[in-house]
Amino acid sequence: MPTGVAMRDAREQLFDAAERVLLRDGPSALTSRAVTTEAGCAKGVLHRHFTDFDGFLAELVLDRIAGLDARSAALRESAGTGTVAGNLTGALTDLFGSVAVAIVGLIISRDALRARLRETRPTGVPLMTEATAMIASYLTAERDLGRVRADADITTLAPTLIGAAHLLFADRKGTPPDAEAVRRTVATVITPALRNPPR
């Protein structure tokens, strides 16, 4: 493998390569050699940018968590438009149709990675915790607009929606659920909390 080839934005290239390996082959196949081979670079490139492989994986997870900020802002801005169930269906499909399911599998399968992430995120499952906060923030905005009932238990609804959607998408090798399956699940959870539920 050539070592003199310059990589622009090596971190992002390595992160993208890790995602491809993770999605194609699963968490057990994710090694430093697999990542650098996928990225087309020497193994030393990874170790120049990260203290060790678990440090690399922790930074990958944190980078993908940071990417939720834009999704969360867009979802909050959609409050008051379309339907609550439709907005949630789109957001959950976007979230779990991405690498999120594979990242959660990675976190669960690697003790050293979980320990590293616990240094800054002491509770919950990283990525799922932030996704739950994204849904809760949106539901709060809808409640403020009067489309979600004032007495709706958002602290229960948000993790329920995340858990239900995660289960729909969790089979990495299977066909992802269609939009109607996601919409039905969302509607089952959210309809009792809507101010004027559809009839």
The per-residue pLDDT for 3 is 45
The per-residue pLDDT for 172 is 56
The per-residue pLDDT for 8 is 57
pLDDT per residue as tens, the chain (199 positions) = 444 444 458 889 999 999 999 988 888 899 999 999 999 988 888 988 898 999 999 999 999 888 888 899 999 999 999 999 999 999 999 998 878 888 988 998 999 999 899 888 888 888 999 999 999 999 999 999 999 999 999 999 999 999 999 999 886 567 888 899 999 999 999 999 999 877 5
Quick one: which H or E segment has residue 1? none
Single-letter amino acid, residue 150: A
The per-residue pLDDT for 99 is 82
The per-residue pLDDT for 175 is 80
Exposed, middle or buried by CB within 10 Å (0-12, 13-18, 19+), for 158?
buried
The per-residue pLDDT for 1 is 41
What is the full DSSP assignment across 107-135?
HHH-HHHHHHHHTT--SS-TTHHHHHHHH
Quick one: which H or E segment has residue 96? helix 84-96
The per-residue pLDDT for 4 is 42
Domains and CATH numbers, the chain: 10-49 (1.10.10.60), 68-193 (1.10.357)
